[in-house]
Structure 1
Amino acid sequence: MPIPLVSVVVPCYNEARTIRDSLLSILNQNIRKAEIEIFVIDGMSSDGTRYTLENMKREIDGFTIIDNLSGKTPVARNLGVKEAIGKYIAILDAHTIYQTDYLSNCISLLEEKKDIVCTGCPYISIGESSFGKATALAMSHPFGIGNARHRYPDYEGYAEGAAFPVYRREVFDEVGMFDENLIRNQDDEFNFRLKQKGMKVYITPKNSCLYHVRETPVKLFKQYFEYGFWRVAVILKHKIPISLRQVIPVLFVTGLLFSIISAFFLHGNNLFFSVIIPLVYFISLLVISIPIFFKNGFRIALFFICSISILHISYGTGFLVGVFSKKTRIKH
């Protein structure tokens, strides 16, 4: 059996809404069937994802399903990497649509730029509901995600990480596998180890993918709460300083707590000091939502304000909880 050019690892858990379209976009890549192998790592989904996968396998049979009994994303990634025998290894999401030349473009870039070990694309976020569409806008706005270059859809160049990355397989021999103790942020931690080794990541908007954002406030809050929480574990593991992008939501949440508590003790004119932080924040949100209002209407602009608030508050709260949690004190 010839060695495939690329091995694709697709962790999934309860992705019934998107798994079919996402997997079809991978199966329809412009790479010869003999040059690609696809592993879908199912975390024992309970929403019909497995039913969809098994039906697709009967129809197409171009991929392998592997059980991930733990349900954890880093475990799924490692299971796939261990099975992979391709020259390149792609870690793709099950809620993303990939352009037909995504993998071939990534491979061409890796073969052209010998100084990089990983490539991918910036996020192009999309939503279906009004809240989802607003969240997609929030996740590509500087006020929402700071200076994370891989979140800007038009950015090309070196970056701290890539969405939907394609790696040279030797990376895993040199850097190791994904940290299975991290429920979230295992990719950030892996990227940090790449950087420690002097390895480079390069992203380009020529590779286009459509990432489905969380469609409800509860799901979005849970996602970014976990990002903040597990970011603490990464910082403690490597003893790295917190970046400005990460500290701002934490300071904001701390300021909100201070404002709420101080409101009970301040009276008269002094009460104004307890509302300065939320007032400045709210005014800032109103200002940046004005272009959204004129382009997308009142409903999207309103949800845009809500989405950005959720991104900041959930991440900051998760980070603060993580600081005091034993779970983030991971032993290695």
Structure 2
Amino acid sequence: MGLMQQDDSLPGVSYVMPVLNEVEHVEAAVRSLLAQDYAGEVEVILALGPSIDGTTELIEAMSARDPRIRFLDNPVGSTPAGLNVAIRASVFPVVIRVDAHSVLTPDYTAVAVETLLRTGADNVGGIMLAEGTSAFERAVAFAYGSPVGLGGGSHHVGGEEGPSETAYLGVFQRHRLLEVGLFDEDIKRGQDWELNRRLRQTGGTVWFTPRLTVTYRPRSSLRRLTRQFVATGLWRGELARRFPAQNSVRYFVPPLAVVAMLLGTIAGLVGAITVSLGGAAWPLLGFAVPGLYLLGVIAVALACIPQLGAGAALRLLVVLPCIHIGWGLGFVIGFAKLTRNISYYRGR
């Protein structure tokens, strides 16, 4: 089914969102969907995992107030399973993936559909603009949108419009999702990259445009941030092992840095032992590797004080290592297949 109707009206849009224990954020996310400046028909489909924080009750109340909101059970609870449940239940030719931590700008749908129609792309995505309220969240938001944090991918820092390897969230032609078999439910994180890989392999186009902006609410605690990035690294390592020829070199920078710091620390400790026994001191140079990294983190934090304020900038001393080391360590474990239960890691 084509995107344009026979009377040239705008295509209907189905927003799909997997939700699990998101009582803090989901209402704002859904409200941003219902407030879209878009003339076509819309529906909101929420796939509810087994939440224990009141999320289900909140969504039930929201659905009772607005018939455009539907909810379905996602007993598995994972993101790809929830997305597939919602996509199969959708009725419109355009599917817009939404995250419970995301808030869409009012023109997001209109710009996305216009871009789909203009380019003929299978999937369109834009920029994830992280915004925090607490000092910790502001530090995380800075790391998301900076090359010193997540490496400077276009969906974090922007770039020229055009074909892309992957896309943040995604606005899809529904029939193409069905043709390639929807999301792989065995991949709990990074399933968007893997799906876009299949779209491109079957002749489709994934398109990036900086005109699309999604406000993202970062994790609010160090524990949640650590879990998120260890899980993300685990699955990126798993994907790099499964598809070695299709991964950008930048994915290997954090794990190589983690290995270098680990080896440097071991060498330094060996040096400390040999010096105490009257032996050679040169292995102490190994401490230079983690030392230089820590100096770099401190320099970034100090340089960001005018921009972020002292509270948020100093929290970068914890946030940046959490992101870099958590992601890199997870990658090493996933790539080396050192865990038998990788399917457990969802990054919640």
**TM-score (structure 1 length as normaliser):** 0.91
Contact map agreement 1:4 1:85 (CA 8 A) in 2:
no
Say if 1:241 and 1:87 are closer, same or farther in 2 by CA, change over 3 A: closer
Contact 1:43–1:67 (CA<8 Å) still a contact in 2? yes
Instruction: After TM superposition, list the pairs within 5 Å mapping 1:302-313 onto structure 2.
Output: 302-313=314-325
The alpha-carbon deviation at position 13 of structure 1 amounts to 0.6
Instruction: Kindly provide the amino acid, as one letter, of the partner of residue 70 in structure 2.
Output: T
The answer to whether 1:293 aligns with 2:305 is yes
Aligned length: 326
Residue of 9, 31, 43 corresponding to 1:24: 31
Q: Which residue of 1 aligns with 2:137?
A: 132
Contact preservation (8 Å) 2:12, 2:93: yes
1:181 aligned residue (173, 180, 186): 186
The Cα of 1:55 is off from its aligned counterpart by 1.5
Which shifted more, 256-265 or 6-15?
Answer: 256-265
Q: 1:239 to 1:174 in 2, by over 3 A?
A: farther
Q: Distance in 2 between matches of 1:147 and 1:100?
A: 26
Q: Which of the numbers 48, 56, 61 marks the counterpart of 2:54?
A: 48
Please, which of 1, 8, 21 is the counterpart of residue 14 of structure 1?
21
Q: Determine the structure 1 residue equivalent to 2:346.
A: none
- What displacement does 1:174 show? 3.0
The structural deviation recorded for 1:259 is 2.7
2:89 pairs with one of 79, 83, 101: 83
Read off the aligned partner of 1:134 and give its amino acid letter: A
Q: Is 1:219 paired with 2:217?
A: no
1:63 maps to which of 54, 61, 69 = 69
**Which runs of 4 or more aligned residues in structure 1 lie more than 6 Å from their structure 2 counterparts after TM superposition?**
none
Q: Distance in 2 between matches of 1:242 and 1:105?
A: 29
- After TM superposition, give the deviation of residue 96 of structure 1 in Å: 1.0
Letter in 2 for 1:120: G
Partner AA of 1:78 in structure 2: N
Moved more, 65-74 or 46-55: 46-55
Work out which of the residue numbers 340, 343, 347 in structure 2 matches 1:326. 340
**The structure with more radius of gyration:** 2
Match of 2:147 among 142, 146, 150: 142
5+ residue gaps, structure 2, are: 276-280, 344-348
Equivalent residue, structure 2, for 1:35 = 41
Aligned residue in 2 for 1:209:
214
Contact 1:147 1:245 in 2 (8 A): no
Q: Deviations over 1:247-288 (max 9, x none)?
A: 111112112222332233213442531211111112222333
CA distance in 1, matches of 2:166, 2:247: 17
Between stretches 197-206 and 320-329, larger displacement belongs to 320-329
Q: Tell me, which stretches of 5 or more residues in structure 1 are unaligned?
A: none
Measured in 2, the distance between the counterparts of 1:4 and 1:13 equals: 29
Q: Given residue 26 of structure 2, which amino acid in structure 1 is its aligned partner?
A: I
Q: State whether residues 6 and 87 of structure 1, in contact with CA within 8 Å, keep that contact through their aligned partners in structure 2.
A: yes
Equivalent in the alignment of 1:165 = 170
Name the aligned partner's letter for residue 62 of structure 1.
R
| Distance of 2:29 and 2:253 partners within structure 1 | 34
Deviation track 1:225-248 (CA, whole Å, cap 9, x = no partner) reads: 111111232223334365322211
1:294 CA drift (Å): 1.8
Q: Find the aligned partners of 2:130 and 2:332 in 1 and give their Cα distance.
A: 27
Q: Which position in structure 1 is the counterpart of 2:278?
A: none
SS across alignment from 1:90:
strand
Secondary structure at 2:91's aligned position in 1? Answer: coil
Q: Percent identity?
A: 28
Q: 1:4 offset after TM fit, Å?
A: 6.2
TM-score by length of 2: 0.87
CA contact (8 A) 2:265 2:290 kept: no
Counterpart of 1:97, as a letter, is V
1:204 aligns to what SS in structure 2? Answer: strand
| Structure 2 CA distance for aligned equivalents of residues 35 and 52 of structure 1 | 24
Q: Secondary structure at the match of 1:214?
A: coil
RMSD: 2.1
Q: Of residues 314, 317, 329 in structure 2, which corresponds to 1:317?
A: 329
Q: Distance in 2 between matches of 1:239 and 1:246?
A: 11
Cα distance in 2 between the residues matched to 1:177 and 1:125: 27
Q: Deviations over 1:98-121 (max 9, x none)?
A: 11221121001111112x211121
For the 8 Å contact 2:98–2:169, the answer to whether it is kept is yes
- The Cα shift of 1:155 comes to 5.3
